[in-house]
Amino acid sequence: MKKEGLSLSELKNILNQWQSRLLLNNWALGLKIVDFKRTDFRQSGDIKVDGKRKKATILLTCRPFRDEEKVILHELVHLLLWDFDHFCEKLALKHSQPRQGDHDKYFGQLEKQVSQLAKIYYSQYKYKKITGGKT
């Protein structure tokens, strides 16, 4: 499988920078380039988490169609919210089947919130970088 976009080395550098900025240094984080096979939508990333061992792997598409730094950040925000997300998902699954009803609504709301938080983190970091940290 041929990887398009940034090199794995560049992506790992981006991951390390955001891991530090988000204070996730107590996690063992990795990256894996994959060919997502979903047919219902184009997937740019995913994260697999082992909360007990504090290990996570971010999966990135081999054919990126979004800014890869923003995808990494988005997946790291999922990690920041992981315990809360896991708790809420269990509640949603008590009332509906996976990917239906309340569970589907929950995922829609989760993605909206994660995307908004990722945008905030990204814009604040870029603003500090431009201004030298001065407000």
The domains found in the chain, sorted by start residue, are: 8-131 (3.30.2010)
What is the rounded CA–CA span in Å between residue 68 and residue 61? Answer: 9
The two structure tokens encoding residue 13: 């550098």
Q: Is 5 exposed, middle or buried (0-12, 13-18, 19+ CB in 10 A)?
A: middle
The length of the chain, given as a count of residues: 135
Q: 79-92 pLDDT, tens per residue?
A: 999 988 888 777 77
pLDDT at res. 67 = 95
Q: Measured on CA atoms in the order 55, 57, 70, 10, is the torsion positive or negative?
A: positive
d(CA 30, CA 57): 5
Closest CA to 79 of 21, 132, 11, 123: 21
- pLDDT of residue 127 exceeding 80, the answer is no
Name which of 15-24, 35-44, 57-66 the model is least confident about: 35-44
Q: What pTM was computed for the model?
A: 0.85
